[in-house]
């Protein structure tokens, strides 16, 4: 037989597109349409009541970010009685862009939500069948969101902010009709699509491919091109046998989970996400009613909270579907956050607030973390997941890595403390699966654990901007439930999938350490003000909880439970994986800056009130130490009188120009260019900097990645570098016993930087306060510190500990990590001597090593902090303007010093007036054991919660002392529930003793005797 595959397949494409799909709605009548342009987002009642103006198909509508309320009215023709009728409402959609353009929520005249409209969901069912003669009326709350990620993508656009987006209409009404829906034609479309997509995935020499081809050919022969509607059932009959042939017993198994990954902000603001969630959940609850086998999962407790607050009628349907077990709250986090940059407590609170919401609202205990789109995973995360009472993780983002192909799809992921979490990366390689034949075949072929396992998961539905699963996807999945040549598809809850997958693969391979995404490295630096706001908020929340708890116990000062709960949720929301990483439109980051300022102001008020209650009235000068380590004679978590440390600071001129600063611990030389050319550690009698090099060297690179501008830094950026060595000013600004400061000012391009280099009494670190007025575009600014160190690895702080990364590039895996994340410190050392670089709001950095020849042989380990970027998409004004950040070089630092100095720079001492010292609420006797949270229990019992972890990577025996008498002390999980797997706790009166493993997290509930 001749090979006519191409002929039949081309015929199928044309007949489907030009004859069968157009026959879906064989008869239609226009609807009457009127509109009102709202002044922003308005309550539903106001939108329903507003006066309308008549409009027609073809009219332009929708300025960027505007809301238009359309009313459509009509009557079903009587001659359509007994038929299925739908409204076809095309607002001018581009079917390629679901979730990225205009959308609408359809309401009944009484305001009841019906369903949403989007490019892949343009229908509203009237009846099946109709009586004929029915009057219909709907009100459409239509959002004219602009397409930011257009074709071609990554072009700078002003549409990302209403202040610059203009007012020209973006869309034209395309079709607003009542129409007869031909069910037979619709089913024929699904049959032919499934088989047409299956064919090219089968081997050419496979008999099954030819069976499908011949069946499709026969069906097309039976389609009357002049009467598709009359011949659709006849054509379907030719396909029944080939569609009924069951899958092979060895076929890969796919658990389909209805899904709509909704970015809590990205190319739209938070305001619009509230409506996106309402639209998507309205569609999904309606679909659940129509499709009994369908299961839908949605993560992010914040999004449920939004519906509850703003659209209670939609939320009622969600709660009903959750109770029925078909709408599944997934993930147990407040939002699908970034996991690289949130601090230890913030990462813990993502699970605390997320899981608690699902428990309180639905009685659901999540056992999986659900993070399909997060940009890599910090090495401390497995322990946090387990400490929250969960045991599984799902993501697919690692499949985006540019260089190395991750070796597993199902595996156990081991974190820094040894905790292992059963993890799955769906081999379908998307969180927007459409049930297309190519996707299903790719999942089966791509699955790397074949032979040992056979189950994978497919998150199915339109995402990013929402939309969710469609009836077409469900129809395809029904045909793929058992179809020869395809993987087997079954709708299942995430928990059911994980239980099966874990049971069948008890010896799953283990991956140790961070799950580094070889992409989107620029998100560690983009939108610096957002990152500074996050870090500052985290530290202020720590202080607010610490001092409020201390004041509540010591003075009965009222503890601000509700305020802290609300503020934590605000900060957690802004850790969403397109807000904190700096990859959202200008509107999002402009709002975030205002929000962080308001959060800081409120937290400062809370802190001030608690400190005032503690310190009392008086004029004694007191130092407030919020850090987890004692300093200057003031205990951790105490208020007292600071003592002078070490000899006075001296400063003078350097013979070759510049200045010398000396505090008896360090001798710093700053040359006439304002560069640090010597940092001598007096105790070790050792120079910190590589011979002939300069530290705090600002370097600027061109930064124009191949795509994903705000997200990516491509390795070729390092090919061109400009050292900023010209100084406008190098002056000795301050000389006193306690500190000496050299100010350095530089101009470059259209920007200016002013730095204060300060050496303080008793401190083994050089503080560098930097202010940059940044007006560059597509540039990358770094600060370099070339160290005279032979280090093959370095430590970078992550949640509840640190991880080591190599400084070499032996393999492609190491070479790919040319930009990485650290929290408060990076630390490099040789045996017996090391250097820490600490910061107060930076995350991105790189570490490289070179070998010196000549007169000063040795190894140079260069640590560079990433300060600023200037991408132009999606925000063309990214980071323009003024920035402030602090970092410090600490020579001779051990890892313990790095931990201590990292906290110190982020939690500077406060000065207050009061009556006298205040002892700490709790005291920890081992510096290796760090308290990340001291607070009152969330249940308002008055119990004190202390979260500790071992921070140095070793074992630690710790005695914790309390300022109150204990009635009990027990370990809990992160949600403050009794834990079965916590360490043994010995307690008496006001002491608690426990032993911690390396990096172990322990949460203690301390029951006060005075509350019994």
pLDDT, tens only, 851-891: 999 889 999 999 999 999 999 999 999 999 999 999 999 99
Q: Can you tell me the distance from the alpha carbon of 458 to that of 399, in angstroms, rounded to the nearest whole number?
A: 14
Per-residue model confidence (pLDDT) at position 299: 98
Residue 181's alpha-carbon distances to 23, 134, 189, 968, in angstroms, are 9, 16, 13, 68
Confidence of residue 1 (pLDDT cuts 50, 70, 90): low
Average pLDDT over residues 530-556: 98
Average pLDDT over residues 233-247: 98
C-alpha closest to that of 366 among 376, 356, 374: 356
Q: Can you tell me the distance from the alpha carbon of 171 to that of 117, in angstroms, rounded to the nearest whole number?
A: 14
Residue 881's alpha-carbon distances to 598, 726, 776, 979, in angstroms, are 20, 21, 10, 48
Per-residue model confidence (pLDDT) at position 321: 98
pLDDT, tens only, 812-864: 999 999 999 999 999 999 999 999 999 999 999 999 999 999 889 999 999 99
pLDDT, tens only, 938-974: 999 999 999 999 999 999 999 999 999 999 999 999 9
Phi, psi of 496, deg, nearest 5: -65, -40
pLDDT, tens only, 88-142: 999 999 999 999 999 999 999 999 999 999 999 999 999 999 999 999 999 999 9
Per-residue model confidence (pLDDT) at position 629: 97
pTM greater than 0.75 (yes/no) = yes
Long-range contacts, 287-290 (Cβ 8 Å, 24+): 287/258, 287/468, 287/469, 287/470, 287/471, 287/474, 288/321, 288/326, 288/327, 290/471
Phi, psi of 974, deg, nearest 5: -65, -25
Per-residue model confidence (pLDDT) at position 144: 98
Find out whether the peptide bond into 934 is cis, omega within 30 degrees of 0: no
> What tokens appear for 51 in the block?
């006066």
Average pLDDT over residues 400-418: 98
Q: Residue 229 above 90 pLDDT? A: yes
Q: Residue 1012 above 80 pLDDT? A: no
Mean pLDDT of the chain: 97
Per-residue model confidence (pLDDT) at position 357: 98
Catalytic option among 373, 671, 681, 767: 373
Phi, psi of 491, deg, nearest 5: -70, 125
Per-residue model confidence (pLDDT) at position 734: 80
Catalytic site includes residue 709? no
* Count of CB atoms situated within 10 Å of the CB of 216: 25
Q: Residue 343 above 90 pLDDT? A: yes
> What tokens appear for 689 in the block?
């900097």
User: What percent of the chain shows pLDDT beyond 90?
Assistant: 97
Q: Residue 627 above 90 pLDDT? A: yes
Please give the sequence-ordered ranges of beta strands (E in DSSP) within 287-446, or none if there are none: 296-298, 327-329, 368-370, 392-394, 410-414, 420-424
Confidence of residue 682 (pLDDT cuts 50, 70, 90): very high
Confidence of residue 192 (pLDDT cuts 50, 70, 90): very high
> What tokens appear for 591 in the block?
């709002």
């Amino acid at each position: 037989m001749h090979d006519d595959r191409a002929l039949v397949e081309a015929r199928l494409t044309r007949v489907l597109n030009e004859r069968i799909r157009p026959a879906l709605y064989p008869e239609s009548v226009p609807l009457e349409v009127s509109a009102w342009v709202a002044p922003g987002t308005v309550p539903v009642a106001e939108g329903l009541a507003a006066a309308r103006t008549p409009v027609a198909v073809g009219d332009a509508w929708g300025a960027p970010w505007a809301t238009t309320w359309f009313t459509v009215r009509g009557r079903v023709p009587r001659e359509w009685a007994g038929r299925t009728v739908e409204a076809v409402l095309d607002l001018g959609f581009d079917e390629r862009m679901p979730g990225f353009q205009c959308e609408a929520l359809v309401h009944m005249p009484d305001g009841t939500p019906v369903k949403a409209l989007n490019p892949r969901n343009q229908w509203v069912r009237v009846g099946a069948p109709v009586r004929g003669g029915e009057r219909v009326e709907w009100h459409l709350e239509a959002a004219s969101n602009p397409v930011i990620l257009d074709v071609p993508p990554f072009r700078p656009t002003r549409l990302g902010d209403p202040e610059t987006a203009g007012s020209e209409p973006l869309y034209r009404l395309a079709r607003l009709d009542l129409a007869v829906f031909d069910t037979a034609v619709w089913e024929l479309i699904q049959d032919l699509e499934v088989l047409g997509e299956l064919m090219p995935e089968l081997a050419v020499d496979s008999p099954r491919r030819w069976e499908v081809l011949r069946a499709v050919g026969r069906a097309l022969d039976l389609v009357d091109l002049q009467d598709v509607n009359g011949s659709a059932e006849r054509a379907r009959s030719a396909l029944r046998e080939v569609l009924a042939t069951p899958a092979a017993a060895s076929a890969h198994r796919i658990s389909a989970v209805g899904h709509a990954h909704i970015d809590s902000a990205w190319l739209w603001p938070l305001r619009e996400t509230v409506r996106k969630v309402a639209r998507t959940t309205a569609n999904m609850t309606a679909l659940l009613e129509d499709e009994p086998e369908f299961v839908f999962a949605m993560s992010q407790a914040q999004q449920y909270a939004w519906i509850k607050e703003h659209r209670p009628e939609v939320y009622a349907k969600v709660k009903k579907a959750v109770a029925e077990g078909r709408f599944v709250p997934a993930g147990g986090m407040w939002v699908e956050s970034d996991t690289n940059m949130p601090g230890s407590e913030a990462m813990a609170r993502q699970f605390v607030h997320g899981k608690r919401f699902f428990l309180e609202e639905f009685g659901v205990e999540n056992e999986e973390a659900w993070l399909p789109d997060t940009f890599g995973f910090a090495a401390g995360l497995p322990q946090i997941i387990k400490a929250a009472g969960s045991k599984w993780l799902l993501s697919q983002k690692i499949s985006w890595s540019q260089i190395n192909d991750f070796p597993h799809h199902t595996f156990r992921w081991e974190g820094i403390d040894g905790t292992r979490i059963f993890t799955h990366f769906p081999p379908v390689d998307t969180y927007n699966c459409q049930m297309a034949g190519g996707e299903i075949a790719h999942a089966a072929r791509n699955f790397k654990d074949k032979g040992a396992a056979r189950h994978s998961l497919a998150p199915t539905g339109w995402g990013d901007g929402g939309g969710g699963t469609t009836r077409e996807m469900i129809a395809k999945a029904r045909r793929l439930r058992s179809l020869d040549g395809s993987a087997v598809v079954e709708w299942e809850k995430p928990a059911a999938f994980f239980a099966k997958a874990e049971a069948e693969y008890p010896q799953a391979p283990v991956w140790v350490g961070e799950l580094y995404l070889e992409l989107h490295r620029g998100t560690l630096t983009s939108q610096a003000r957002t990152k500074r706001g996050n870090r500052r908020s985290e530290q202020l929340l720590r202080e607010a909880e610490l001092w409020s708890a201390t004041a509540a116990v010591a003075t009965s000062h009222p503890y601000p439970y509700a305020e802290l709960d609300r503020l934590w949720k605000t900060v957690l929301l802004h850790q969403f994986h397109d807000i904190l990483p700096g990859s959202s439109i200008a509107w999002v980051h402009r709002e975030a800056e205002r929000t962080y300022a308001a959060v800081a102001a409120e937290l400062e008020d809370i802190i001030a009130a608690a400190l005032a209650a503690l310190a009392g009235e008086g004029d004694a000068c007191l130092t407030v130490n919020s850090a987890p380590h004692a300093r200057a004679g003031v205990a951790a978590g105490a208020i007292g009188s600071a003592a002078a440390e070490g000899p006075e600071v001296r400063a003078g001129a350097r013979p070759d120009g510049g200045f010398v600063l000396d505090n008896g611990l360090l001798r710093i030389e700053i040359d006439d260019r304002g560069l640090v050319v010597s940092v001598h550690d007096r105790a070790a009698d050792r120079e910190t900097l590589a011979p002939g090099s300069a530290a705090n060297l600002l370097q600027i690179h061109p930064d124009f990645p191949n795509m994903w501008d705000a997200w990516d830094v491509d390795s070729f950026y390092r090919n061109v570098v400009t050292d900023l060595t010209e100084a406008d000013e190098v002056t000795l600004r301050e000389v006193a016993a306690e500190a000496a400061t050299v100010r350095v000012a530089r101009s470059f391009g259209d920007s200016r930087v002013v730095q204060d280099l300060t050496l303080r009494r008793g401190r083994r670190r050089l503080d560098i306060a930097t202010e940059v007025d940044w007006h560059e575009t597509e540039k990358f600014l770094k600060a370099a510190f070339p160290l005279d160190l032979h280090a093959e690895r370095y430590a970078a702080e992550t949640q509840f500990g640190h991880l080591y990364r190599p400084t070499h590039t032996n393999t492609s895996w190491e070479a790919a990590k040319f930009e990485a994340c650290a929290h408060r410190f990076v630390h490099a050392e040789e045996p017996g001597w090391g250097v820490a670089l600490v910061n107060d709001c930076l995350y991105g950095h790189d570490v490289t090593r070179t070998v010196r020849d000549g007169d000063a042989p040795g190894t140079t380990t260069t640590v560079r902090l990433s300060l600023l970027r200037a991408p132009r998409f999606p925000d063309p004004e990214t980071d323009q303007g003024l920035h402030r950040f602090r970092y410090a070089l600490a020579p001779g630092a051990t890892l313990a010093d790095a931990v201590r100095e990292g906290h110190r720079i982020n939690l500077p001492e406060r000065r207050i007036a009061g009556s006298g010292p205040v002892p700490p609420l709790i005291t920890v006797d081992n510096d290796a054991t760090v308290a990340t949270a001291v607070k009152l229990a969330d249940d308002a019992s008055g119990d004190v919660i202390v979260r500790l972890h071992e921070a140095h990577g070793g074992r630690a025996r710790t005695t914790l002392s309390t300022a109150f008498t204990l009635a009990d002390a027990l370990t809990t999980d992160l949600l403050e529930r009794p834990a079965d797997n916590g360490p043994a706790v010995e307690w008496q009166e006001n002491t608690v003793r426990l032993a911690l493993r390396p990096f172990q997290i322990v949460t203690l509930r301390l029951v006060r005797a005075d509350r019994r």
